[in-house]
């Protein structure tokens, strides 16, 4: 009862405060329209529907509107644009232009590429424009961590605290001894129930959240809170020793921020991040029916605004007005890493992709002598920052399969290095 009342209070505060996020119910008109083509809350990410659904997924779920502020960062067009037709990528069957690589290999919808804070390339397809939201999938994880970093900067949260200090319901679970930092770094190595061949995550989480429609969440009256107690086993590693990419860590991190601040972490994202960055459009962050944001996959925002956020990581966490939006130490630590996250990375399956580490819901990939700080989503969503070229690459798309080695190689061994090389010339 206490948890339900807290969630209700969060929702009411969000709905009626003039300076707060707005809590939304699922959009029944959209759901009815989607059903005319056979698309439902349960199957929207099937290959035949994923391109159509990506700009609208938040309408299937409960969500928060993250309102843009009065300040909008004007991204100027560069005097030296990048012609993607002339950027050549070597694929297994021969050379292909970056334009064709994006459209026909990536199934890309939008791309915004910045160098020195200016637009060198942008395009929008699939009926979208620069203000259209797009599901970010696991790019959302990085935003959840940014909300935690801002809470730490406000003195409301400490990375080295035990998570159970904020979430006593973790008693008896596999997270009982985990610190906030270990959760943020995905160094908990807990054991999840197997998903399916198509969905490699624990599908009980998606059901509890209402990620695949409200009917699926009916057997979880407490929403996401009913999922955490199900995780009681850990892999044979000491806490903090192994990196293992698991959505539950991001969900728990969002809950910790809620508990530490007394309201949904989406408030921080709206007022302390997006509005200070100067986004040009509202964003939408999906939640369960009780208002707990989907920390692993909830963000729906325009690609151009994603690029605006990316600039923070090239400017020590400051916006273009010189205001410290993200704590400078948080940004510096992302770029530098540490021995713990580097060692943990080597024990995880992603170490075969590249040297690097995973820290605070960001990947650092070290490829070909260059370093890429990346927010990454499973269907071609990403925001990649590179210091050598002073660049941001923001993409949104609808690649029809989840977590394939082929796609990871296309992203980070083919497309991104080719673009950064072209920008460096």
**Which CATH number do you get for residue 238?**
3.40.710.10
Q: What predicted TM-score, i.e. pTM, was given to this entire model?
A: 0.95
pLDDT over 70, % of the chain: 95
Cα Dmax for the chain: 61
Q: What is the mean pLDDT of the chain?
A: 94
Residue range(s) defining the domain that contains residue 205? 2-69+112-424
Integer Cα distance of 103 and 331 in angstroms: 32
With a cut of 50, say whether residue 2 has pLDDT above it: no
- In-domain check, residue 302: yes
Residue 301: closest CA among 135, 100, 173, 56: 135
Q: Could you report the per-residue pLDDT of 101-159, keeping only the tens digit for each?
A: 999 999 999 999 999 999 999 999 999 999 999 999 999 999 999 999 999 999 999 99
Integer Cα distance of 396 and 60 in angstroms: 19
* pLDDT score at 201: 80
Classify residue 303 as exposed, middle or buried by CB count within 10 Å of its CB (0-12, 13-18, 19+): buried
- In-domain check, residue 86: no
Beta strands 94-97 and 88-91 are: antiparallel
- In-domain check, residue 105: no
Q: For 98-164, where are the alpha helices, taking DSSP H only?
A: 98-100, 139-153
- In-domain check, residue 284: yes
Number of structural domains the chain divides into: 1
Classify residue 363 as exposed, middle or buried by CB count within 10 Å of its CB (0-12, 13-18, 19+): buried
pLDDT tier for residue 213 given thresholds of 50, 70 and 90: confident
- In-domain check, residue 96: no
- In-domain check, residue 228: yes
Number of C-beta neighbours around residue 237 at 10 A: 15
- In-domain check, residue 305: yes
* pLDDT score at 199: 67
Integer Cα distance of 56 and 156 in angstroms: 34
Q: Could you report the per-residue pLDDT of 33-86, keeping only the tens digit for each?
A: 999 999 999 999 999 999 999 999 999 999 999 999 999 999 999 999 999 999
**412: DSSP letter:** I
With a cut of 90, say whether residue 280 has pLDDT above it: yes
Beta strands 382-386 and 391-397 are: antiparallel
- In-domain check, residue 94: no
With a cut of 60, say whether residue 5 has pLDDT above it: no
Highest mean pLDDT among 11-15, 222-226, 403-407: 222-226
Q: Could you report the per-residue pLDDT of 285-332, keeping only the tens digit for each?
A: 999 999 999 999 999 999 999 999 999 999 999 999 999 999 999 999
With a cut of 70, say whether residue 97 has pLDDT above it: yes
Q: b/e for 42-75, b at 16 or more Cβ within 10 A?
A: eebbeeebbbebbbbbbbbbbbbbbbbeeeebeb
* pLDDT score at 12: 43
* pLDDT score at 164: 98
Classify residue 102 as exposed, middle or buried by CB count within 10 Å of its CB (0-12, 13-18, 19+): buried
**243: DSSP letter:** -
């Amino acid at each position: 009862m206490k948890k339900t009342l807290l969630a209700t209070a969060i929702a009411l505060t969000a709905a009626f405060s003039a300076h707060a996020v707005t809590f939304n119910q699922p959009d029944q008109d959209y759901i009815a329209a989607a059903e005319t083509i056979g698309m439902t809350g349960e199957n929207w990410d099937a290959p035949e529907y994923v391109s159509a659904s990506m700009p609208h997924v938040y309408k299937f779920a409960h969500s928060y509107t993250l309102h843009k502020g009065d300040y909008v960062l004007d991204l100027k067009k560069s005097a030296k644009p990048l012609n993607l037709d002339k950027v050549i990528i070597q694929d297994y069957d021969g050379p292909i232009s970056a334009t064709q690589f994006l459209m026909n290999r990536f199934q890309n919808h939008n791309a915004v590429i910045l160098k020195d804070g200016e637009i060198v390339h942008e395009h929008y397809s699939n009926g979208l424009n620069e203000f259209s939201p797009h599901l970010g999938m696991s790019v959302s994880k990085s935003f959840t961590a940014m909300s935690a970093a801002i809470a730490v900067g406000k003195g409301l949260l400490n990375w080295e605290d035990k998570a159970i200090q904020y979430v006593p319901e973790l008693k008896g679970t596999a997270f009982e001894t985990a610190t906030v930092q270990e959760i943020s770094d995905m160094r908990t190595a807990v054991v999840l129930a197997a998903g399916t061949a198509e969905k490699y995550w624990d599908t009980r989480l998606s059901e509890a959240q209402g990620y695949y429609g409200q009917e699926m969440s009916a057997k979880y009256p407490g929403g996401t809170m009913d999922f955490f107690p199900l995780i009681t086993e850990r892999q044979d590693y000491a806490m903090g020793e192994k990196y293992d990419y698991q959505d539950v860590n991001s969900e728990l991190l969002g809950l910790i921020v809620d508990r530490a601040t007394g309201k949904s972490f989406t408030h921080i994202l709206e007022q302390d991040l997006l509005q200070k960055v100067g986004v040009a459009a509202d964003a939408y962050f999906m939640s369960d029916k009780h208002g707990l944001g989907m920390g692993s996959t909830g963000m729906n925002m325009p690609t151009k605004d994603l690029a605006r956020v990316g600039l923070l990581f090239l400017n020590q966490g400051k916006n273009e007005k010189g205001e410290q939006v993200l704590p400078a130490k948080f940004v510096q630590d992302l770029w530098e890493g540490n021995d713990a996250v580097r060692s943990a990375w080597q024990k995880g399956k992603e170490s075969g992709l590249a040297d690097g580490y995973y820290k605070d819901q960001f990947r650092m990939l070290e490829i070909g002598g260059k370093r890429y700080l990346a927010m990454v989503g499973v269907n071609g969503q990403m925001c990649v920052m590179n210091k050598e070229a002073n660049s941001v690459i923001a993409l949104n798309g609808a690649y029809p399969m989840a977590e394939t080695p082929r796609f990871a190689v296309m992203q980070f061994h083919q497309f991104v290095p080719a673009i950064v090389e072209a920008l460096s010339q």
